[in-house]
Amino acid sequence: MAVTLDLDPARRRLAELPEVDVERMALERLGRLQAEMAERDIGGMLLYDPVNVRYATGTRNMQVWAMHNSSRYCLVPAEGGAVVFDFVHCEHLSEHLPTVAESRPAKMWIFHISGSRRQEVMAAWAAELADAVVERCGNRRLAVDRLDGDPRRALEAHGIEVSFGQDLVEYARRIKTVDEQVAQRHAAVICASALAQMRDATRPGATENELWSILMGVNVALDGDYTESRMVVSGPRTNPWYTEASNRRVRAGELLALDTDMVGPHGYSCDMSRTWLCHPARPTAEQKTLYGLAYEQVHHNMGLLRPGLTMRELAERSWRIPDRYEPLECGAVIHGIGLCNEYPQLVPRKWFDDLGYDAVLEPDMTVCVESYIGEPGGHEGVKLEEMVRITESGSDLVGVFDFEAELLS
């Protein structure tokens, strides 16, 4: 199948939206993070996760590579700009930003770069970082999002008190600023345009990978980043969920189900799920049943959302899945969404006492409401998901893409 992308519809809709004030967004995010640090009397944060680095500073560099190589990091003091430690010769990527006080070359102790000199490089890394903490942070208490045991001990040998810090970032990220909300709407427009083209291209003989490439192509062409998964599957591969795209060819009469997990412009994710029918065909009674139940679950749970609602209250009031589909129930009823999946997340009622935690919905949170309906041993399943912003009175859709009238009839 030759893939031809139509970017004009998305460009027209993007032109109708407000622009993202990138500088203001970066400064407000840094301010939110520093407020969380001040509340806990944390002198500084060491961030390695590239999503967290981007949130705190607005900088990005080799995002996916940095996710599995501890190579790029930043020190965020409780006051003032961050120090970004970047890949060699990459200081120019962030030195002009208002969130960044200084950019330096990183000292990379990961083995494939430092090899037998790992301990030597790690010692130099710890000494430099400890000096920066003393110089720029109000105290020696350092919260860290992720760090191996050896470098942590190297830092502690310099008198740095290291603590878990991912919770601070998650708390900061949970409320979306005005510019973040605009960025999410931009991502949703791009995602909806890609979905429309994927649906049009879902014809017998098209492969799952070819259809997934449309989402990737539209997103990247319109300045998006990447996707976090490859969940575009057809027919029997829709049951159970969490199978990724392959070169399987879609057949007429089969369902195609997908979860976008798309990281768009400015790093903001659009996480929507849809399922539709491969034509020419008419939906079967079973396909309509699966789809109707998933639609009912998503819309019932969306109707519950409001500020002040706790996760326990939501779990207790959430839609009750029929017994025959319960074993394959989606692992999340809702989850936060921003630069990626975020706090808070609600597990199904059956797991709440063992795995759930109590959080409270607040205005300007963005959450995704999920459903998967499929019977163990069944031929197909249906995945649906909507992305909504919590408002003062309830919730509003962030992205709009029509559901399938023929599967709801």
Residue 375: which CATH number? 3.90.230.10
Backbone dihedral angles phi then psi of residue 284, each to the nearest 5 degrees: -85, 165
d(CA 21, CA 176): 14
d(CA 379, CA 149): 46
CB 133 within 8 A of CB 140: yes
d(CA 113, CA 24): 36
Q: Is the whole-model pTM more than 0.75?
A: yes
Assigned domain for 9 exists: no
pLDDT, residue 29, reads 98
Task: Please name which of 385, 172, 92 lies closest in space to residue 262, comparing C-alpha atoms.
Answer: 385
Range of the domain at 352: 178-408
Q: Which helix (H) or strand (E) holds 369?
A: strand 366-374
Assigned domain for 404 exists: yes
Strands, DSSP E only, in 48-99?
A: 73-77, 82-86
Residue 357's contacts (CB-CB under 8 Å, 6 or more residues apart) are 311, 344
pLDDT, residue 3, reads 76
In a shared domain, residues 113 and 230? no
| Count of structural domains within the chain | 2
In a shared domain, residues 267 and 141? no
In a shared domain, residues 81 and 103? yes
Domain end marker among 129, 147, 173:
173
In a shared domain, residues 216 and 355? yes
Per-residue pLDDT in tens (0 to 9) along the chain, 409 residues: 777 899 999 999 999 999 999 999 999 999 999 999 999 999 999 999 999 999 999 999 898 888 888 889 999 999 999 999 999 898 898 888 999 999 999 998 888 988 899 999 999 999 999 999 999 998 999 999 999 999 999 999 999 999 999 999 999 999 999 999 999 999 999 999 999 999 999 999 999 999 999 999 999 999 999 999 999 999 999 999 999 999 999 999 999 999 999 999 999 999 999 999 999 999 999 999 999 999 999 999 999 999 999 999 999 999 999 999 999 999 999 999 999 999 999 999 999 999 999 999 999 999 999 999 999 999 999 999 999 999 999 999 999 999 999 999 8
pLDDT, residue 308, reads 97
In a shared domain, residues 102 and 242? no
Sheet holding 73-77, edge to edge: 100-105, 82-86, 73-77, 44-47, 141-144, 161-164
Domain end marker among 173, 192, 223:
173
In a shared domain, residues 267 and 134? no
In a shared domain, residues 283 and 363? yes
